[in-house]
Structure 1
Amino acid sequence: MIKLLLVDDHAVLRDGLRNIFELEDDITVVGEAVSGEDAIEKVKTCQPDVVLMDINMPKKNGVEVTGILKKQYPGIKVLVLTMHSHDEFFMAAIREGADGYLLKDAPSNQVIEAIRTVARGESVIHPSMTKKLLSFHQQNQQEQVQDSSLTEREREVLMCLVEGLSNKEIAERLFISDKTVKIHVSKIFKKFDVKSRSQVVIYAVQKQLVPMPPAN
């Protein structure tokens, strides 16, 4: 059973989410928080597995709270659910340790599956945020990945992964075979200790392997 804490200052939204999650056999809402500081206190008492975190809240925003919780409770999973699609919020939340980032226009079944995904130790990124990251990266391709554990070819493949390219598209861009791409991707997954492409992107953001978008 996944123990979930809802963090949002809008009661109507919290009620709606609770009603949705109560229909799932493997998710139970163990508490609700109305502010950043309230969330920190509720985590202590409710001991959730996953925190569904809004960003725009009184006193401490969701990005700040995410950083605090991840430092105090490294095993807790934080899934951001917000209306903010700005690059700086996304990048800041991920760098503070968020395990996923969804926008509030996501369908309920996607949110439910995202909760299960982060609870398993994997990561989730809203498709539109991946596209924003891609757009920013394409405008800053002169800034190269700096990670001594990667070979030059692996760095090239990593940037292709950040851009959201498929193995076939990576092969075509780098003039290598699909099989070679799979080998490089496998090595990157192993070096970063990740299991999915979303986790690769999050790792790259957290380790500042991609340039940070300026604040709007």
Structure 2
Amino acid sequence: MIRLMLVDDHAVLRDGLKNILDLESDIKVVGEAVSGMDALSKVPDLMPDVILMDINIPDKNGIEVTGILKREYPAIKILMLTMFDHDEYFMSAIREGADGYLLKDAPSQHVIEAIRSVARGQSVIAPSMTKKFLNFQQKPAEAPKEKKDELLTEREREVLLCLVQGMNNKEIAQELFISDKTVKIHVSKIFKKLDVKSRSQVVIYAVQNQLVPLP
């Protein structure tokens, strides 16, 4: 059962989402928050598996709250659900550790599947944001001063490619003929070496710095 928390200041949207999600046997809405501070105060008691987070909320915005929660509770998955399709919001959310980024015009079934995907450890990016994401390949970021990618072993590069292709740990283990535990170790080392906090973040870093072929 996926324990889900809704963070949005619009009651109609929260109620609509809750009504839809209540029909799913594997998802349970365990709490709601109407502002950044409200979310931060409730998370320690609710400890959800996934948080569906709006960006434009009172007090602290959703991106700020995501950064705080990812530092304090890195195991909690955070899926942004917003009306903003601007590059700066998208990249800021990913930098703060968001596990996915969806737009509010997404069909409800896409939102449901995205919740399941991030709960499994996969990253989710709205289709309309994918072009912006892949454009980083044509406009690569300045090379990191420490050449972080050179620290990766050959096996870690193979795991990184699997991450970019959207595989979860079990799928990576099957692809590379290694154990789930070994995959977790490699993923943890990749995150540390590349100084990233989430799968979405490591995927964007890899594409932006041309560490792997385009998926």
* TM-score of the pair, normalised by structure 1: 0.71
Task: Report the Cα offset of residue 60 of structure 1.
Answer: 0.3
Alignment length (residue pairs): 179
What residue number does 1:203 align with?
Answer: 202
What residue number does 2:150 align with?
Answer: 148
Letter in structure 2 aligned against 1:34: V
Alignment of 1:94 with 2:75, yes or no, is no
What's the secondary structure of 2:79's corresponding residue?
Answer: strand
Task: Report the Cα offset of residue 58 of structure 1.
Answer: 0.9
Task: Report the Cα offset of residue 150 of structure 1.
Answer: 5.2
Task: Report the Cα offset of residue 129 of structure 1.
Answer: 1.2
In 2, the alpha carbon distance for the partners of 1:16 and 1:49 equals 20
In 2, the alpha carbon distance for the partners of 1:204 and 1:80 equals 16
Task: Report the Cα offset of residue 205 of structure 1.
Answer: 3.4
What residue number does 1:171 align with?
Answer: none
Which range moves more in the overlay, 44-53 or 127-136? 127-136
What residue number does 1:33 align with?
Answer: 33
What residue number does 1:186 align with?
Answer: none
* TM-score of the pair, normalised by structure 2: 0.71
What residue number does 1:174 align with?
Answer: none
Paired residues of 2:55 and 2:82 also in contact (CA < 8 A): yes
Give the RMSD, CA atoms, in angstroms.
3.2
Letter in structure 2 aligned against 1:202: Q
Q: Mark the runs of 5 or more structure 2 residues left unpaired by the alignment.
A: 166-174, 177-184, 191-197, 211-215
Distance 1:208 1:20, change over 3 A: same
Identity of matched residues, %: 63
Alignment of 1:61 with 2:73, yes or no, is no
What's the secondary structure of 2:37's corresponding residue?
Answer: helix
Rg larger for: 1
In 1, the alpha carbon distance for the partners of 2:140 and 2:121 equals 30
Task: Report the Cα offset of residue 64 of structure 1.
Answer: 0.4
Listed one character per residue, the Cα deviations across residues 147-200 of structure 1 (whole Å, up to 9, x for unaligned) are 11359xx99xx89x97x9xxxxxxxxxxxxxxxxx99xxxxxx96569xxxx86
Paired residues of 1:97 and 1:206 also in contact (CA < 8 A): no
What residue number does 1:48 align with?
Answer: 48
In 2, the alpha carbon distance for the partners of 1:38 and 1:210 equals 37
Distance 1:106 1:28, change over 3 A: same
Task: Report the Cα offset of residue 201 of structure 1.
Answer: 5.5
In 2, the alpha carbon distance for the partners of 1:56 and 1:132 equals 21
